């Protein structure tokens, strides 16, 4: 008797052979996948305590969001029409720099709920600060049932690239202390929640971190066997900084200070010249592409097509909710293709298959969990989503990969399984109190603006 069987499903496995089943089944025992095959065969072979009949569902690996700012979720929709640096300096950082622990906690709960409801089963979270109450955030991640990486900012300067005083004083940290707290966080929380919680380092952007501190982070990440994530080459100012200060392009500087490698996920990576892509490929550095955020803020478009051709591992991220505004990986997959096809004037590439790879198996590499999740195959942990296709915008299904990328949205996800456990069923999240979280987040919206002295500018005035 096994624990769980999903049958009668169209399955996109993203396994090594990229098999897609017309009428497939998945046998799950404990938190792992026992076997994937044809429904008829597996139904004969196993008896399960629980059977999910997935007729009319596409079943696929859970989506992996490789860039998420949990504390920013309750800033959703605050002043959309602002240039990226102004947005950070005048809105995002002052609001975060005025937070109390409850603000950050409610934002985190909302973000976790939103991700699970949109079929995200694992995420790479960046940018935690002591004022947010990091312990409660770590516990919230564990309790939600999701798989996640959290990371604390490390910094010893208050600037951002060439802008020396960009960061809000409420977010300033001292180098030694920020590094020690990041190490404490790893020692206390890494591997908790049956291994679902990982803790990494997130050094702030160039201008916020000295060369020496970057190197120490690199050494410590190796020492602890954890990853590093950092915003890199996201605006022209970043590239100007490394060139002006060190005579190096952003990827050359990354290489010089130890910010490259298999355990490093650099976010955005828009301002890389062609020859820098070879450095990323040779060092197996992961690039997290955030297409909706980049297009919304007119930041430019990362050379994802070229990166993929050169063998760079490109994964996808939602980024923060003030710059996106939803944590829906389906939108990221679709937007990534739209931007690349238009950038290179190529309607043939990338395809839906590449988009799904970026959101699943490439994402698993991006969070150092390639052997654990990212595909549906024997021995991997069961992080699986069921997408309901009985919808006018999804019927008929000629090709499930096309339906997922070109037509589906997060709201089409019906059931979410993480580590073998059903976390959401019939769109009802079993681990969280949805109504309570929505109510608290809505109630908090004025407080976080007032305490930071920030106003929302409306194009059409509210009456």
At its nearest, how many Å lie between Zn ion and the CB of residue 320? 6
Shortest gap between Cβ of 63 and Zn ion (angstroms)? 18
Residue nearer to Zn ion on the CB measure, 11 or 367: 367
The tokens for 192 are: 């908790």
Stretch that binds Zn ion, among 76-84, 168-176, 318-326, 409-417 (CB under 5 A): 318-326
Measured between alpha carbons, how far is residue 458 from residues 43, 81, 207, 452, 455 in Å?
57, 10, 32, 18, 9
Q: Which residues contact 406 (CB under 8 A, 6 or more apart)?
A: 334, 337, 352
Q: Is the dihedral of CA 353, 359, 361, 366 positive or negative?
A: positive
Nearest residue to the partner Zn ion, using Cβ: 319
CB count within 10 Å of CB 183 equals 17
Q: Between residues 319 and 354, which has the closer beta carbon with respect to Zn ion?
A: 319
For 208, 322, 360, the CA distances from 96, given in Å and listed in that order, are 17, 12, 30
* 152/381 with CB nearer Zn ion: 152
DSSP, residue by residue, 43-67: HHH--EEEEEE-TTEEEEEPEEEEE
Nearer to Zn ion, 54 or 122 (CB): 122
d(CA 166, CA 405): 38
List phi, psi (to 5°) of 239.
-70, -40
Please report how close the Cβ of residue 72 comes to Zn ion at its closest, in angstroms: 8
Minimum CB separation of residue 125 from Zn ion in Å reads 10
| Binding range to Zn ion, per CB under 5 A, among 42-50, 166-174, 211-219, 317-325 | 317-325
Query: Which of residues 173 and 319 has its CB atom nearest to Zn ion in the complex?
Result: 319
332 binds Zn ion (CB under 5 A): no
Return the number of the residue (319 or 357) whose C-beta is nearest Zn ion. 319
Of 104-112, 316-324, 331-339, 417-425, the segment contacting Zn ion by CB under 5 A is 316-324
CB of 163 to Zn ion, least distance (A): 17
Contact string (CB under 5 A) for Zn ion, positions 276-315, x = contact: ----------------------------------------
DSSP state of 145: T
Which residue, 182 or 321, has its beta carbon nearer to Zn ion? 321
Measured CA to CA, the distance from residue 358 to residue 336 in angstroms comes to 10
Please tell me the number of Cα atoms within 13 Å of 217 on its side-chain side. 36
Sign of the torsion formed by the C-alpha atoms of 279, 282, 286 and 290:
positive
Task: Give the nearer residue to Zn ion in terms of CB position, either 103 or 319.
Answer: 319
Residues 59, 376 contacting (CB under 8 angstroms) = yes
Distance CA 96, CA 70 (A): 11
Q: How far is the CB of 288 from Zn ion (least distance, A)?
A: 9
Query: Smallest distance from the beta carbon of 453 to Zn ion, in angstroms?
Result: 23
Among 319, 328, 354, 357, binds Zn ion (CB under 5 A): 319
Closest distance of CB 458 from Zn ion, Å: 25
For Zn ion, the binding residues (CB under 5 A) are 319
């Amino acid at each position: 008797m096994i624990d769980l069987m999903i049958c009668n499903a169209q399955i996109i496995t993203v396994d090594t052979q990229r098999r897609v089943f017309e009428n497939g089944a998945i046998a799950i025992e404990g938190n792992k996948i026992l076997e994937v095959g044809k429904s008829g065969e597996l139904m004969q072979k196993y008896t399960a305590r629980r059977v999910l009949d997935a007729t009319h569902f596409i079943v696929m690996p859970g989506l992996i969001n490789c860039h998420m700012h949990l504390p920013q979720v309750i800033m959703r929709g605050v002043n959309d029409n602002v240039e990226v640096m102004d947005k950070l300096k005048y809105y995002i950082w002052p609001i975060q720099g005025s937070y109390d622990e409850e603000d950050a906690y409610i934002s985190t709960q909302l973000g976790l709920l939103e991700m699970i409801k949109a079929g995200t089963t694992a995420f790479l979270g960046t940018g935690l600060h002591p004022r947010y109450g990091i312990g409660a955030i770590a516990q919230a991640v564990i309790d939600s049932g999701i798989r996640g990486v959290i990371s604390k900012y490390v910094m010893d300067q208050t600037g951002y690239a060439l802008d020396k005083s960009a960061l809000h004083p409420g977010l300033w940290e001292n180098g030694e202390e920020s590094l020690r707290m990041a190490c404490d966080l790893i020692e206390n929380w890494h591997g908790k929640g049956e291994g679902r919680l990982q803790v990494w380092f997130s050094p702030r952007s160039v201008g916020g971190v000295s060369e020496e501190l970057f190197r120490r982070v690199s050494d410590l990440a190796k020492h602890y066997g954890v990853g590093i994530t950092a915003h890199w080459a996201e605006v022209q100012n970043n590239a100007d900084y490394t060139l002006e200060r060190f005579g190096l392009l952003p990827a050359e500087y990354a290489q010089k200070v130890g910010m490259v490698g298999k355990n490093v996920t650099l976010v955005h990576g828009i301002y890389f010249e062609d020859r820098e892509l070879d450095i990323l490929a040779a060092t197996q550095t992961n690039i997290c592409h955030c297409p909706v955020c980049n297009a919304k803020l007119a930041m430019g478009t990362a050379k994802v097509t070229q990166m993929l051709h050169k063998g760079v591992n490109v994964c996808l991220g939602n980024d923060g909710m003030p710059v996106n505004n939803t944590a829906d990986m389906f939108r990221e997959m679709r937007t990534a293709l739209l931007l690349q096809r238009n950038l290179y004037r190529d309607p043939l590439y990338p395809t839906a298959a590449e988009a799904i790879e970026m959101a699943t198996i490439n994402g698993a590499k991006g969070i150092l969990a390639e052997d654990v999740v990212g595909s549906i195959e024997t021995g991997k942990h069961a992080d699986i989503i069921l997408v309901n296709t009985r919808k006018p915008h999804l019927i008929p299904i000629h090709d499930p990969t096309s339906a997922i990328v070109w037509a589906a949205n997060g709201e089409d996800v019906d059931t979410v399984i993480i580590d073998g456990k059903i976390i959401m069923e019939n769109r009802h999240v079993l681990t969280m109190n949805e109504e309570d979280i929505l109510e608290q987040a809505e109630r908090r919206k004025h407080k976080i603006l007032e305490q930071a002295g920030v106003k929302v500018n409306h194009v059409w005035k509210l009456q």
